[in-house]
Structure 1
Amino acid sequence: MKKYLSVLLTITPLFAPAQEMTLASHVRGLPDDFKRYFYDSELIVQVYLNDTALFDAAISLKENGEIRLIRIVDTSYQADDVDPEIKARWADVLKQGVSVGECTQNCPSGLMAVEYRLDNSVLKLYTSQYEKGQVNTDFISLPKDMPGGVMMYNRVSARGTSHKERSWGINSTLKSSFAGWSQNASFYSSGTGEGHHQKNSSSLYQLFSQKELQGSFVRLGLFTPSSDTSNVQTSGFGDHSVVGAMWGTSDTLLIRQDSVSAFPVYITGRNQSIAEVWQNERLIYTQQLQSGIQALDTRQLPNGIYDITIKIIENGQTVDTQKAQIYKPQGWNDPDKRWRLNFWGGQRRTFGTSWHHKQNNNPFTVGGEVDILAHPRAIVGLSGALAEKETQVGTRANITISENDRLFTQYTLSNTQEHLSKNTTIHYYRKIPIGSAGLYWRSTNKKYHDQKTRSRERQHTWGTNLSLRLPWSTSLMLSAEYVDRIQNKGFGADISLSKSTQISGHNTNFRLSGYHRPGFDKKERDQGVSFGVSVALAPANRHRISAETGLNQHQNYSSLKYQWEPGDDDNPIRTLGAGVSQSSRNTIISTNGAIEARYLSGNVYTQHHIQGSSHTVGGNLSQVLVLGGGKVGAANGNNRMESALIVDVDADDDSTSILASGNMGEKRLFKGKNIVPIQLWEKNNIQFTARGGEGVQVFPEHHSVQMNRGSVKYLKVKAMKTFTLVGMLKDEQGNLLKNRYVSSDVAGAMINADGVLTLDSGVSNRLLTVTEKEGRPKMQCALPSEMDKKKQIHFINTVLCRAVSVGEEKS
């Protein structure tokens, strides 16, 4: 420390000579009549740590050079790169008191020297880190102890009809944090049925513990190799689960993080139709469709590159199916490391029941994936897996041709006891100034072989997508493809033209759409055309009426719908709607709604077919349950979080609300328990501010936390209405107290040399504390009980204080 101090004194001319370090000479030479108001009074200073501004503060200075923090005045001017945890730590140090000059013993947090300058009102704290350069690292530094916790995410998707035709899916994921490792348990159950015939599938497909390291990760337990392979995007070995271990590279702890992107998935709906999204024979999402071509809502689908099956349901029957690929790759965050890879091995196990995968044995299997940054614009991937009498090899390439052009290709070869399968995908995507365009080709060749029969199945699809934003608030969507498969064969096209305008002050949308495609399951060609108009009514576009008419399979139909959006954050209802559709074959009455409450979110829809007297009901519900710090909390499922803070808000005024802001954005907190999503790994600095009512202070004002996946922490936040007290304090003998430090339930201040105290206090507080000083005892002062709680400032001539004995303090 002496060595660092000598260097510090050499390069810091603001310090006085060593013999004058007790207090700078220009301070010690103050006139005697000024010292009475200078020492033991509030002084406003700028506090610096190693030449970096921390905050503005009110301090008290003794003539012997002792400095003590009274309160922080303002922190709004500071740079955002100063950690609030560091500010809070040094605020605590200053509250305990420091002395001007060199620190030789009991030096907190590496403190080496303290300097106070009267000429510019600056207090500088120098530590042993002053001469040490920051260690440059690309990775986030994790603390040894991160909060534990448990989080459980549940989602239910279901659809059923009065004809006992149904499909449903339940997906539950439990994430926890323990001893620096994160745990994951994933369960699904899904099925379809009609009458007494049904097919169910249930499985516990993941139950593992994982440790994130700088640049890599380790996983132990039951896991699905094709799911969540960290930053390697090449597919693994199907949807089988393995009991074993996995190691791989990881960008999780990289400080630089890029955003993800996705190619759109276009689907075509009919009048009152529904889309079901299936992944690995699991129903993961359902969506109500409008007529014509539209984009699938993929916001709630998982990240990664994987195939999905979309079933179009109309009147309880599957009228079309299509394959699509979700493209949400993670960015290549570290171009200096051109290899990403993972290896895994273990015994393949199935914990559950399935009508698709019935394994008679549990073979040992090994595999791995590797992605190579062959060029800054080209990523090449290769995957392989080997088990008893089964092999799989896959390769892919992701090429960024230009800023606006991307090409994706993928080929997989799978050889099992049942079949030999070859799958090829080529997808070209281009951004254009007024929209986007895409070309794709998908091919599947399967050769089934067993002891009795041999068969072959081939499917080919060539297609294009075009989305344009035209002048005059007009947009165009076009999809065309040629399919060659068992269910249907031929050329098909979909087109949709929409325009937004204002008529008599109302936002109005016009939409013209049409489609002409091969019929599903070798039926006649599927064709239709529709024209619709939607008008937003006052107030604030919360009410919308839409009408549509068209042809569906040469049958006329028309529909009328009403939609209501409250637009109020306090209202758990997000949308409510109803409609009626009439055709020569049927009349359909439908309803829909969506909620986003504190503890539950979801949507539901119903359809009633009058001629057939049939009903269809479907929807999605989701919820997150969290446990941490011995407390339990819940949130709606729209909070896609992997770590959370349970914030218990205690406010003495029901009109007060708290706003939590930080890396996660802004979130309004209510009285009681609230769930605040927290970003993983990075240090999160959360600021709490009060909304509603004057003179309200929040304690604590900020909180810093660093979370592991599955971490949950409990924090109690109190919002108190305060007032400002201006008055004089006297002891039991009637003597006026001066130059003493006084604290309330919310703040602290110094009594000035004239005996005047200015201090903030909670409206419910009736007791002040005077700290012990130079042999003078600690004191307690009772405030009048009849003060008006609505007043912001109270002038009190005399507040009586009495000494507190040691026994009273303990009691």
Structure 2
Amino acid sequence: MSLRLRPLALAASLYCCAPWALAAPAAWDSVNLLQQADDLPEDFQAHFFDVPLVVRVERDGQYLGDARAVLSRDNRVQLLDFSDSADSALPDRERERWLHALAEPQPLGECAGQCAPGLQRLHYSLESSLLSLATSEGQRTPADQRYLQLPDAGSRGLILRHQLNAYAGQGFNTAGRYALDAQGSLGHWSTVASYQLDRSSEQGAVLRHSVQSLYAQRELRDHFLRVGYFLPNFQGVTRQPRAPNSPNYTSLGLMAGSSDILLADSSAPSVYPVYVTANREGMLEVYRDGSLILTQALQPGLQRVDTRRLPGGIYEVELRVVEDGRETSRERSLIHKPGNWANPERRWRYSVFAGYQSSLFDSFHDPERGRGAFGGIVNYLAHPRAIVGLSVQQVGRQQAVGTSLDWQVHDRFNLYTNAYRASGADSGDGSGLDVQGIWRYARGTVVASHSRSWQERRREDEDYYPGRWAEAERPQFPTRSGWLRNSALALNHRVGNSGHLSARVSHSQGVSSGVGLDLSFNRRQRLFGSDANWRASVFDRPANASSGQRRNRGVDFTLSLALGQAQRRYSANLGTRTGRTGGRDLYAGGGVQQSFEDGLVRSIGAQASVDREGVGVGSSLQFEHPALRGDLQAQRSSAGGQLSGSVNLESTMAIGGGHLALAGGQLGSGAGTGMIVDLASDLPGLKLGAHDSRGGSYTLRPGRNFVPVAAYRSGQLQLDFVGREAPAASIQPAALGYHLNKGGVAYQQVSVQRTLTVMGHLRDAQDRPLAGAQVINHTSRSVSEASGFFTLEMSASQPTLEVRHPSVGECRLSLLAGEHPSEDDVVMLGTLRCPLPAAPLAVGLLNDGVGR
């Protein structure tokens, strides 16, 4: 054949073979296990069917792990366990998921009838010993893969958080607050409700109550929708311009805005792509400030750098290309990843609301009730270094307009500005400007801020100086219009590895005028063989009520030392300040605090101080109960000896799956989604560790537990024993999967039973080895080898075995005590015959001393 015709002939051959190549997967699917095993010798087939084999498992073409599986002659497959998964990029929860889904034999081929969620097809190749799983996730389009998949049927649940705060003392009224926050899930909607009952300690204060929110919200990929009662503020934007006259009363209406909650990958690439070129296969090294932060494999030619894994911000990096162990090129490039901007391709972010002012079970008087309420806010990514914001809102007769600019001037310098203008029928007109800049250097930061606002008119019932004042002591300052200015410059500098210097200079003009100076030095070191922290500070601050309306000047030295018993700290302080009458006041004090890891009381402390007024004492206590947590404080003032005290209580209640759980510890604080776990065990003093695949570890104890989990993202709680020495016991199930919307609560039961390892040899009635028999107990299951031998973890409290095999049907064995040898937690059963002989078979176990 001519050399000119060879390429044409090759192209024609490939074209003709294309239909066969495309049809090859279907042809493979039609070949069952018996057809694939026809070419095997008959002796080999006995070691291929109904016995544990090691196979490679792939999910949608991705390596899942090496596993032990059982293949049956009726074209079914069963997974026993995974033996190796070190080279798999998929998380452990995926292996647990499919191990559970294929625990019972499943037919190969296209899935029909009752199948595991998401499973569409199973295929096994004898030639490559490969088990392939085709799932619905593999058919998702790239657009679908960008977003989290919500639970098909949604989720149900309700989490109630109760808070109680109270303060009382001699000489003033009692103040208190009770708040109830509810987060729920109903299908694909999340529900939010909050209620507050409070009373202040001011003269003439009355008991007030209000429903601050009661709405439902739905996440819709890049957006959210809210319906119900809510405060007319904004959500879903990166920078929100500040403006006065923000309404404190609820509106009934709709709100919509941008949302990044359902983004599957919150990491964003650089706004401007970065490219490198390599002549040969090699490696790219990315350095920032001399530190390696990323490596990437390179192929010959021009290619794009994967900047998603780089940290956020705008900074310079150095790109080094290494080929054959030798650096071939080096260049510098700029990374543009704006902070808090998950997708730089979407340069606009927004939030809008519309409705009318309305309240529900509210004791407040809203002068704008029944009037319209609407507003909107937008953020625009004008440049990778600059985010511009604009907000407009009108609630009744109150109007407010605000603008903002978030500008990263340099890699180490950020500037944030905010300007606003507001007007209202009752509160008057006002305008203002805020500027804040932060400069970061190698060992610290410098922060400068300035704000100024103009108040045209104030309501007569408002006071520049709120607080508790006796009528004779109330300062007589004029309530006038004018500019209010505040400026500050702060420095935080790290000195060595254990020292820290802080300095702040401020100037205010308006309500309180003057210059303030604070300077302090902190150091952590070893003192008297113990860990110690000490701080020295000097201050000069503007006049206030506690300093007799004179400037407050003084110095302070504080020492905190861990001395004596573990978890105990001592502290002492000495200094001088301006007293209540304006004179110099020397003071000294000391305290001790003891912490506890377990028990109802978690910490207890006591303090005492001496000054020119007298002696003051105080005490504090923190406690934590499975249903309630909180703290108590009590004080006796050195001035007059007045007694005062306060209490803060918090409790969380979760309802889901028809069950209720109380969480008083830190697990329930702030939890918006969770799981109720009932743990039953025959082991005394059991503790289980629950490790969330999404991050976080928790401790479970026998009884009812509540564990917070991540919302919207599917995950798993891996359970194991706490401590280095695990008991001979089985955890069923060992992994708890979840996939919940915000506010959803799932329910799971976990059983931990003491186990024994039993080893035996199965034979049939003709004394032939019983290969491929499933040996099942309440705790675990196993499959006998071709020789009939098996090993199984068995519950010590339920010593029964069930043997399943097509040739013998079902065979149940009751294991009695005292007839077979045992060592520690291992029992040798010897030969077991199935089907059972005429008399029931009893196999002995040594209960005394076994598994203890």
Query: Shorter-chain TM-score: what band?
Result: 0.7 to 0.9
Give the secondary structure class of the aligned counterpart of 1:768: strand
Deviation at 1:595, TM superposition (A): 3.2
Partners in 1 of 2:553 and 2:138 — Cα distance? 75
User: Where do residues 763-802 of structure 1 align in structure 2 (5 Å cutoff)?
Assistant: 763-773=796-806, 776-786=808-818, 791-799=824-832
Residues 97 and 217 from structure 1, CA distance in 2 versus in 1: closer, same or farther, beyond 3 angstroms? Answer: closer
CA contact (8 A) 1:680 1:709 kept: yes
CA contact (8 A) 1:782 1:799 kept: no
Residue aligning to 1:346: 355
Partners in 2 of 1:649 and 1:8 — Cα distance? 57
User: Which residue, out of 549, 558, 563, partners 2:593?
Assistant: 563
> Which residue type is aligned with residue 386 of structure 1?
Q
Residues 601 and 11 from structure 1, CA distance in 2 versus in 1: closer, same or farther, beyond 3 angstroms? Answer: farther
Coordinate RMSD, CA, aligned: 3.5
User: Which residue, out of 756, 773, 790, partners 1:740?
Assistant: 773
Residue aligning to 1:641: 671
User: Which residue, out of 211, 230, 245, partners 1:204?
Assistant: 211
1:729-782, Cα deviation, whole Å (9 max, x unpaired): 5679998755422211122222334433322211212221222515x4322111
1:643-682, Cα deviation, whole Å (9 max, x unpaired): 1111111122124322111213111111111111111111
Residue aligning to 1:53: 63
Residues 1:247 and 2:247 are matched in the alignment: no
Residues 127 and 396 from structure 1, CA distance in 2 versus in 1: closer, same or farther, beyond 3 angstroms? Answer: closer
Partners in 1 of 2:226 and 2:412 — Cα distance? 37
Residue aligning to 2:457: 448
Deviates more, 1:746-755 or 1:80-89: 80-89
Deviation at 1:224, TM superposition (A): 0.6
1:675-725, Cα deviation, whole Å (9 max, x unpaired): 111111111222222335333222222232222111111111122222211
CA contact (8 A) 1:601 1:623 kept: yes
Residues 126 and 428 from structure 1, CA distance in 2 versus in 1: closer, same or farther, beyond 3 angstroms? Answer: closer
User: Which residue, out of 149, 167, 171, partners 1:163?
Assistant: 171
CA contact (8 A) 1:15 1:115 kept: no
Partners in 1 of 2:516 and 2:586 — Cα distance? 21
Give the secondary structure class of the aligned counterpart of 2:147: coil
User: Which residue, out of 673, 676, 696, partners 2:704?
Assistant: 673
Residues 1:577 and 2:605 are matched in the alignment: yes
CA contact (8 A) 2:452 2:486 kept: yes
User: Which residue, out of 650, 666, 675, partners 1:622?
Assistant: 650
CA contact (8 A) 1:226 1:235 kept: no
> Which residue type is aligned with residue 254 of structure 1?
L
CA contact (8 A) 2:64 2:90 kept: no
1:337-380, Cα deviation, whole Å (9 max, x unpaired): 1111122111112345567x642642112111111111112111
Partners in 2 of 1:792 and 1:226 — Cα distance? 64
Stretches of structure 1 lacking an aligned partner (at least 5 in a row): 1-5, 260-328, 805-811
Deviation at 1:204, TM superposition (A): 0.7
CA contact (8 A) 2:235 2:351 kept: no
Stretches of structure 2 lacking an aligned partner (at least 5 in a row): 1-16, 269-337, 462-477, 579-583, 838-852
User: Where do residues 124-135 of structure 1 align in structure 2 (5 Å cutoff)?
Assistant: 124-125=132-133
User: Where do residues 500-511 of structure 1 align in structure 2 (5 Å cutoff)?
Assistant: 500-511=524-535
User: Where do residues 138-537 of structure 1 align in structure 2 (5 Å cutoff)?
Assistant: 138-193=146-201, 197-226=204-233, 228=235, 233-234=240-241, 237-257=246-266, 331-351=340-360, 358-359=366-367, 361-418=369-426, 419-448=428-457, 455-471=480-496, 473-486=498-511, 488-520=512-544, 523-537=549-563
Deviates more, 1:220-229 or 1:507-516: 220-229
Residues 367 and 536 from structure 1, CA distance in 2 versus in 1: closer, same or farther, beyond 3 angstroms? Answer: same
CA contact (8 A) 1:183 1:208 kept: yes
Deviation at 1:630, TM superposition (A): 0.6
Residues 19 and 253 from structure 1, CA distance in 2 versus in 1: closer, same or farther, beyond 3 angstroms? Answer: closer
Residue aligning to 1:704: 737
Identity %: 23
- TM (normalized to structure 2)? 0.77
Partners in 2 of 1:425 and 1:180 — Cα distance? 40
Residues 451 and 36 from structure 1, CA distance in 2 versus in 1: closer, same or farther, beyond 3 angstroms? Answer: closer
User: Which residue, out of 691, 715, 719, partners 1:688?
Assistant: 719
CA contact (8 A) 1:646 1:714 kept: yes
User: Which residue, out of 2, 10, 14, partners 2:21?
Assistant: 10
Residue aligning to 2:844: none
Partners in 2 of 1:757 and 1:8 — Cα distance? 47
User: Which residue, out of 576, 581, 585, partners 1:551?
Assistant: 576
Residues 240 and 611 from structure 1, CA distance in 2 versus in 1: closer, same or farther, beyond 3 angstroms? Answer: closer
Residues 386 and 510 from structure 1, CA distance in 2 versus in 1: closer, same or farther, beyond 3 angstroms? Answer: closer
Residues 564 and 497 from structure 1, CA distance in 2 versus in 1: closer, same or farther, beyond 3 angstroms? Answer: same
Deviation at 1:789, TM superposition (A): 10
Residues 198 and 779 from structure 1, CA distance in 2 versus in 1: closer, same or farther, beyond 3 angstroms? Answer: same
Residues 552 and 17 from structure 1, CA distance in 2 versus in 1: closer, same or farther, beyond 3 angstroms? Answer: closer
Partners in 1 of 2:537 and 2:111 — Cα distance? 81
Deviation at 1:800, TM superposition (A): 6.5
CA contact (8 A) 2:63 2:89 kept: no
Deviation at 1:30, TM superposition (A): 4.7
Residues 660 and 127 from structure 1, CA distance in 2 versus in 1: closer, same or farther, beyond 3 angstroms? Answer: closer
Partners in 2 of 1:717 and 1:9 — Cα distance? 51
- TM (normalized to structure 1)? 0.80
Partners in 2 of 1:114 and 1:755 — Cα distance? 25
Give the secondary structure class of the aligned counterpart of 2:104: helix
Give the secondary structure class of the aligned counterpart of 1:204: strand
Partners in 1 of 2:835 and 2:359 — Cα distance? 74
Give the secondary structure class of the aligned counterpart of 1:88: helix
Partners in 2 of 1:714 and 1:731 — Cα distance? 43
Aligned length: 717
Deviation at 1:178, TM superposition (A): 0.6
Give the secondary structure class of the aligned counterpart of 2:829: strand
Residues 635 and 87 from structure 1, CA distance in 2 versus in 1: closer, same or farther, beyond 3 angstroms? Answer: closer
